[in-house]
Amino acid sequence: MTNDLPNKQLVARSFGQAAAHYDDVAILQRQTADELLDRLSLVTLQPQQILDLGAGTGRNLSLLAKRYPKAQLFALDIATAMVKHARKNHQKQVGFKRWLPNSKPVQFLTGDAEKLPLADNSMDLIYANLALQWCDPRTSFAEIQRVLRPDGLLMFTTLGPDTLHELRQSWAEVDDYPHVNLFYDMHDVGEAMMAANLAEPVLDTDRYTLTYDTAMALMKDLKILGARNVNTTRRRGLTGKQTMNNVAKAYEQFRENGVLPATYEVVYGHAWAGNKQQQQRQEDGSIAIPISKIQRRRS
Ligand SMILES: C[S@@+](CC[C@H](N)C(=O)[O-])C[C@H]1O[C@@H](n2cnc3c(N)ncnc32)[C@H](O)[C@@H]1O
């Protein structure tokens, strides 16, 4: 697992700046969030405490609250501006209902998935939609395992390495710097889950293709989403107009039926809190994950 780890301050700043307009362009994020909720309906679970990890603008809070009306919700994000936005959005959605005697107010927290400001064994369900790709999987899954109660469940999506491969290839034709974040592959994710001692991990991938009229329109959307290039070896400074035009020209090789595709490889995963004492490492230090637990869908 050798991916360049994202610069946390930059992640927090980019998403903070994106808070106001993120929802206007978060099409894929809405689709995967809804799919995750659908998958949750297949699990019998009556969570008392739920963490929306990397909650962003808080769009999924009301859906989780509707699904689990008795649960206490926690919304956590690394970007303080996102947390403020989520709180405002939630208050608007819930309106006066939040003053009803039995309503449990959502707790809004700024924090890092790699160092959760939450007690051990405090959550029954951790829901994380498209947030963990900004983290070191070994550290974040270890934190998730620490915070989950025994029998607690983690449901998440993250991005796989094929994500935005058209944009990565177009940039590679223009210069030698990494311009698109590198994402962990499903096997690395599974290995990190096992290393964290999460139990019965199940993973699969799905591909989504968004289409754009121009490469500039795609790059503009990524900027609005806050999905900036956070590679530590990224090129610093402003990118000239000529360079951007060259990237746009290189992207034209992917045009099909009049539009430009942008591929997203979404990894869906879930796992249960594992035995906190149990050590699953093999004697040689490797970690075993049954092949039967890893599937690839519609790729
Ligand atoms: C693509 S957005 C997804 C937001 C939301 N889950 C949704 O479904 O719309 C990713 C979010 O993860 C947050 N994030 C990134 N790294 C994080 C970290 N290490 N800890 C907590 N949140 C993080 C970002 O600030 C951002 O709000």
Mean pLDDT score across all residues of the chain: 88
Does 8-161+183-208+265-279 carry CATH code 3.40.50.150?
Answer: yes
Inter-residue contact 71 to 47 (CB < 8 Å): yes
pLDDT confidence tier of residue 240, bands split at 50, 70 and 90: confident
Determine the average pLDDT of the residues in 31-52: 96
Determine the average pLDDT of the residues in 120-141: 97
Neighbours of 71 (CB within 10 A): 18
- Atom 4, ligand 1: residue with shortest CA distance: 56
Q: Which atom of ligand 1 is nearest to the CA of 52?
A: 6
Rounded Cα gap, residues 178 and 233, in angstroms: 7
Rounded Cα gap, residues 251 and 183, in angstroms: 21
pLDDT on residue 282: 46
Residues 6+ away with beta carbon under 8 Å from 211? 259, 260, 261, 262
Domain layout of the chain by residue ranges:
8-161+183-208+265-279
Q: Where is pLDDT greater, at 282 or 198?
A: 198
Q: Where is pLDDT greater, at 239 or 179?
A: 179
126 lines ligand 1 (CB under 6 A): no
157 lines ligand 1 (CB under 6 A): no
Inter-residue contact 296 to 204 (CB < 8 Å): yes
Instruction: Give me 297's structure tokens.
Output: 């869908």
pLDDT on residue 298: 46
113 lines ligand 1 (CB under 6 A): yes
Give ∠ CA 26-3-252 in degrees, rounded to 5. Answer: 55
Indicate the burial class of 197 (C-beta count within 10 angstroms; 0-12, 13-18, 19 or more).
buried
Q: Which pTM does this prediction carry?
A: 0.89
Distance 66 CA to ligand 1 centre (A): 21
Distance 210 CA to ligand 1 centre (A): 20
pLDDT tens readout for residues 158-212: 999 999 999 999 999 988 777 888 899 999 999 999 999 999 999 999 999 999 9
Inter-residue contact 131 to 54 (CB < 8 Å): yes
Neighbours of 134 (CB within 10 A): 28
The alpha carbon of residue 95 and the mean position of all alpha carbons in its chain are separated, in whole angstroms, by 28
22 lines ligand 1 (CB under 6 A): no
Residue with tokens 């927290």: 109
